[in-house]
Amino acid sequence: MNNGTTALVSRNGSSPEPAPVEEHDLLWDGLPPVVTQKLAQPLDEDLVSYRKGRKGRTFAYLEGHTAIDQANRIFGYGGWGFELTAPVELHESETVDPKTGETTRIRAYSATVRVTVPGSPPRTDVGFHAVVEETPEGHEMAFKGAVTDALKRALRGYGNQFGNCAPRNVVSVSLA
C-alpha cells in the first residue's frame, strides 16, 4: 500500500491504476508479509480444546498458553505485548433461587487487556473469571483467569489463528 487509501493494480500488463483498499486491509498495512501470511492460515485443529458447558453443551476454545504460543509463533518473541489498561476488579453479587429462596453469593474478577503489535492498531477486550473457592488460592486463580481471558479475547481481534473461527457451541464432541 502506498498511502493507505489506494493500491496500485496492473491490468493486463498496462500501467498500474489505483484500486480501492478494503477497510480490513488498512488494519494490516504495517505488518510484515510473513506475519500476514501466518495470520491468513487456517487454525490447526489440534490447538483447539473443548469444555463442557451448561445444558449439556460443549464449547471449543484456545487455552491461554496456546494463545500465547500462537502470538509468539506469528509475531515473534518480543514482537508483541500486552498490558492491563485498568486495575483488575472484584465484582460481587447475589442471586436468589426462585424455587428454594436460597441466596448464592457470586464473586468474580474482570480485567481489561490491550494487545499491541507494531504495525497494527492495538486490540483491547475484557475478560472475566468466577471465584470457585473462597480461599486465597481461589481468588488468585480467578484474578489470573480474568487477565488470561482478556488476553485471549484481545488476541482474537487478529483473526482465526487465535480461535476466532472455533465453533461456539459444539454438540458432537465427546469429552471422555
Q: Please give the tally of structural domains in the chain.
A: 1
Query: Tell me: the pLDDT tens digits for 11-65?
Result: 445 444 444 445 455 456 688 999 999 998 988 989 999 988 888 888 888 999 9
pLDDT at 167: 60
Query: What region does 119 belong to: left with phi over 0, alpha with psi -120 to 50, or beta?
Result: left
- We report the CATH number of the domain holding residue 118 as 3.30.390.80
Q: How far apart are CA 90 and CA 102, in angstroms?
A: 23
What pLDDT, on the 0 to 100 scale, is given for residue 147? 97
- Tell me the C-alpha to C-alpha distance, in Å, between residue 22 and each of 7, 9, 170: 10, 14, 32
CA 146 – CA 127 distance, rounded (Å)? 5
- In a domain? residue 38: yes
pLDDT of residue 5: 35
- Domain-embedded: residue 5: no
φ and ψ at residue 34, rounded to 5 degrees? -60, -35
Question: 1-13, pLDDT tens digit by residue?
Answer: 333 333 333 344 5
CA distance linking residue 111 with residue 87, whole number of Å: 7
Largest CA distance in the chain: 77
Grid cell at residue 31: 505488518
Would residue 3 count as lying in a domain?
A: no
The boundaries of the domain holding residue 32 are 17-162
Tell me whether residue 71 is in a domain. Answer: yes
Tell me the backbone φ, ψ of residue 36, rounded to 5 degrees. Answer: -65, -35
135 within some domain? yes
Q: pLDDT for 136-151, tens place per residue?
A: 999 999 999 999 999 9
Q: How far apart are CA 26 and CA 16, in angstroms?
A: 20
69 within a domain of the structure (yes/no): yes
